[in-house]
Amino acid sequence: MTERYDVLVVGAGPAGLAAAKAAASHGARVGVLDAQPRAGGQVWRHDVRHAPARAARKAMSALDGVDWLVGHQVVATGQQRLLVEANGKPVSLDYGSLVLATGARELLLPFPGWTLPGVTGAGGLQSLVKQGWPIAGKRVVVAGSGPLLLAAAASLRRHGAQVLGIYEQASSQSIHAFARQLLRWPGRAIQAAKLRAQLAGVPYHFGSWASVARGGDRLRTIELHGPHGTQTIACDHLAVGYGLVPNTELASLLGCALGGHGKHPQVRVDELMHTSVDQVYAAGEACGIGGLATARIEGRIAGLAATGIDAEARTLMTRRGHERRFAALLQQHFSLNPQLYQLATPETLICRCEDVPLSALDDFADAREAKLATRCGMGACQGRICGTALNELGRFPRESPRSPIFPARLATLASADSSHSDLDRGL
């Protein structure tokens, strides 16, 4: 089955929804695809118990005439075409313009015990709970870094979790300097104040992190390291994430130039969100972690530019610059303490798919060599977790992705014809 869209948007989060709305409002035939079963992305993920935020409701309801392609996983690319798997079946989607709003994933760092059931990402547990994971009455420690910890803790509490504390690795000086700067972004300052109010009574510790998780076949206790030493506490869940990393696999496969100042690649775009590849635009977290407001404004610019409405897109550039400066501030004040890179011991499993310990990787300076010799990064996640962690730890960068960029059924791969040139190469 092949469908054709004037503008095809990959990712139904805030950036993708804004792009779709902007393009559709100018008469384009728009398709929005997302691997998740519902639109919203991560920030606006459907919550089985609580009504969505007003902004989310508005973004998702005002999109008449847009095709919703949820449960669609991109597998490979072709000539202005994506090969997608939906309900276990192959679908080809042709496009005039493509908008990559592929978002971000959490940065998860290895430490002893991080493979125990009960240890999750911070945003990870938030997502699971929104989709009905039973958390009421459970003792949860939230740890890692960044404003997401507060948002996750507030969600967990709203669902009845007993949040024992939030442990932020950044120092208190750094956080207080950040808070002073926040006044230049009043909307965000109000948001932060609201979150703190929702978290009244939950201790927020700085310069602190979870160093060890223990338990037999599930999490029982964790060790917390902070300015006043190390303590052990009992909990049911440890929700730990060290910020976000752009999802650039599809952009990379399409040949879009990647760049960025940090350790992890991000999609390079010009002021109209155009990538280095003709007819391919990108917006939001994929272009560098910037948060919700950045994603929405960039999505709108990309949607307009992808429809050829450059003049209107240009009117939004100043606002985009303002939001991106906030992102730079975040990076600066929540930068990771290098001590976190020493948490994993030689026995700690780095590649969770293939059970490869850190000690097995000592002799390698290259992801491909390590993979061939140890199977590190060869499992189902395709190195998304271990490769990103090893890059952050300063071991070696992740290999460039090849298609299929997600595991797919044989029937899907078999359906690829010669127009899916990258798939031929990948196989």
Partner 1 sequence: MTAEQVRLMINGHAVDAPIGASVAAAIAMLDVHVRRSPSGERRAPLCGMGVCFECRVRIDGIAQQRACMVEAREGMQVRTDD
Contacts with partner 1 by CB under 8 A lie at 35-38, 42, 46, 48-49, 88, 105-106, 108, 115, 117-121, 123-128, 131-134, 217-218, 349, 352-355, 379-381, 384-385, 407
* Min separation Cβ 295 and partner 1, Å: 16
Sign, CA torsion 360/364/370/373: negative
Q: How far from 151 is each of 15, 43, 126, 147, 254, CA to CA, in Å?
A: 19, 9, 8, 7, 33
* Min separation Cβ 389 and partner 1, Å: 11
* Min separation Cβ 356 and partner 1, Å: 10
* Min separation Cβ 355 and partner 1, Å: 5
What is the rounded distance in angstroms from the CA atom of residue 277 to the CA atom of residue 228?
A: 52
The dihedrals phi and psi of 338, each to the nearest 5 degrees, come to: -60, -20
* Min separation Cβ 42 and partner 1, Å: 6
Q: Which is nearer to partner 1, 124 or 288 (CB)?
A: 124
Concatenated DSSP letters of 92-146: EEEEEEEEE---EEE-----TTTTSTTEE-HHHHHHHHHTT---TT-EEEEEESS
What is the rounded distance in angstroms from the CA atom of residue 298 to the CA atom of residue 317?
A: 9
* Min separation Cβ 205 and partner 1, Å: 23
What is the rounded distance in angstroms from the CA atom of residue 288 to the CA atom of residue 248?
A: 10
* Min separation Cβ 73 and partner 1, Å: 8
Q: Which is nearer to partner 1, 35 or 286 (CB)?
A: 35
CB 283, CB 295: distance < 8 Å: yes
Q: Which is nearer to partner 1, 105 or 324 (CB)?
A: 105
What is the rounded distance in angstroms from the CA atom of residue 307 to the CA atom of residue 186?
A: 32
CA atoms within 13 A on the CB side of 197: 6
- Widest Cα–Cα separation across the chain: 62
CB 237, CB 257: distance < 8 Å: no
Q: Which is nearer to partner 1, 81 or 384 (CB)?
A: 384
Q: Which is nearer to partner 1, 106 or 168 (CB)?
A: 106
Q: Which is nearer to partner 1, 155 or 211 (CB)?
A: 155
Q: Which is nearer to partner 1, 14 or 379 (CB)?
A: 379
Q: Checking DSSP bridges between strand 237-241 and strand 119-120, what pairing results, if any?
A: parallel
